[in-house]
Structure 1
Amino acid sequence: MSKKKPLSKGQLRRMRDNQSKRLSRKASAADTPELQDNLLGAEQAGTVISRFGQHADIETIDGVTTRCNIRRNISSLVTGDKVIVRLATETQPGTGIGGIVEAVHPRTSSLTRPDLYDGVKIIAANIDQILIVSSVLPSFTTQIIDRYLVACEDTDISPIIVLNKVDLIDDDNQAEIDQALARYQAIGYPVYRVSSHTGEGVEKIKALLDDKVSIFAGQSGVGKSSLINALMPDADLLVGDVSDNSGLGQHTTTTARLLHFKSGGDLIDSPGVREFALWHLPAERVGWCFIEFREFLGTCKFRDCKHGDDPGCALQAALKSGHITQDRFYNYQKIITSLGEQRHARHFRSLED
């Protein structure tokens, strides 16, 4: 009888991590106080303000927020979800729990983020628009903007490009930034320039948020929290400085939560990510998400055209004729290349499980 191959260090590490997660979930479930049905009131509508493990803060139509248990048959619950909740009719000392989430309404939209270990995760739900925040510091890059634009197009959520820290623009970067933003405007994307430091453009952003559910997206360090504080001073969000040594921003938000504007409209403040991975999308879908590519897709000489050096490539012809810009085409190719690398990394890590 052959001997079993010993587990690798990676396999052992993943086994320990998975066991720890299972034990943590069991402990959390065991510690969750159960509310008896006879102590619960009638069903009513609510909105998820934030999610904390087995609990969620639910706001009902009267504006009151209550921390509630989540029924075990609810597999997914995120900030922005519309739910049916039953609140406790009697206070139960020491529990801190005031109700139970009974059901979740279908989502009108959802923003997802792929994770190399856990697959595609939903970040927030029922979003009307995504404000893609970039800035002069730590560095202005269209590659990150285009990744977020692909995510917006894929989920059919309207994007708005916001350049923050415009007070830091100087003669060295003025032309490059102006040209990049003009390219986005030329293909139909709205672009706004703001400074959370000086207040420039803040009122225009406020007007965009009225009667909408919005979410801010962008690299760490671009000033999302500072901009939200400028738009909503009562939010009292943490603000992190950009590291002088690395130039990378520090994550300042740990749990997504829904905030209200006094003038109307909601804002979901979500944990920042440094790069929006897209490995879950097929290459054909990524190409479609570059909106100016759409009229040329499917018109190449060969059906399996990779849009590289392939003869008769319609995208290459559009690039030469000026219908597609070099910057956008380069970013598209970078994303396509990264898809294979990220899928390979995910497959390699899954082999260690």
Structure 2
Amino acid sequence: MYSADPERYNGQMPYRRCGKSGLKLPQISLGCWHNFGHTDDQHEARAILRRAFDRGVTHFDLANNYGPPPGSAEENVGRIMSEDFACHRDELIISSKAGHLMWDGPYGEWGSRKHVLSSLDQSLKRLRLDYVDIFYSHRPDPDTPLEETMGALASAVHQGKTLYVGLSKYPLKMLKKAVAILRDLGIACPIYQPPYSILDRWPENEGIHAWLADHGMGSIVFSPLAQGMLTGKYCDGIPDGSRAARSEGFLQVDQVDAQVKQLRALRDLASEAGTPLHHLALRWVLDQKPVVSALIGARTVAQLDDSLDALGQPPLKKSVIKKIDALAPPARRKKK
């Protein structure tokens, strides 16, 4: 029987408000993209969720297609939630998403009203929940009108199936229009989820983060460690069992090979600053505006604890930031 640590809110985890909303998230949130599927160790998955909550992580991030296989992460987290966290439901922020391929046929992906609302119903069933706290459009649909996708998100709020809505990976032009449509429907969009790391500064380069800050929205970023490249473990080759070593993984060997010199230089910089590379990378992300939270993955409790310990690092010195910019420079910002 799990009994949560009574000291979990003793100040070890800072929380940040998403823009002008009432939504507050831990500075580090637990992403369930990897490590919670049916192919993973479920005893370790349960231990990771328990340990995360004990350390003040109140946000677990999912999507309909997380696994593998797709849907299995929601099933496993849902089972653990019902068995261990039912009495803590009102302390938790649970998010899910719709948009990537989940089932066969014309409505199995993208942003149609049919897909978005059907996917949400399926997610709630797998999660064993009456509602999620945040429901995202996971990616923009190039063919479905934005009015239809945003209308589906608004319906999810009106039906009581989500408390907040969010957008993920939308380019700036579409993001602006989508937020305006939601506003006209009486629905606020307090949160945006992009990939962001020292090695991938896309939302910064495209002016998305500046626009979010100006319009009272928060950014919760995924892959802050660039799929593990910023952990330092790839500086001397591809370790056995790592993401890049798996044929089914998103991180490919050629991606690592293309950036190994940069990774080594960043590792040396972190060493000079007296911190591990992954702590430097997480601290860098959290020091950027308007980042509210960084989503991390963890294969073990030890990995989770190690990442959470990055919160003990002070804000980076300007001299260190300048060196990071020299090694991984931002692009000249485009006007949109």
Q: Do both proteins adopt the same fold according to a TM-score greater than 0.5, normalized to the shorter chain? A: no
Larger relative helix fraction? 2
Which structure would you say has the larger Rg?
Answer: 1
Q: What TM-score results when the alignment is normalised by the length of structure 1?
A: 0.29
Larger relative strand fraction? 1
Q: What TM-score results when the alignment is normalised by the length of structure 2?
A: 0.30
Higher relative contact order (CA 8 A, sep 6+): 2
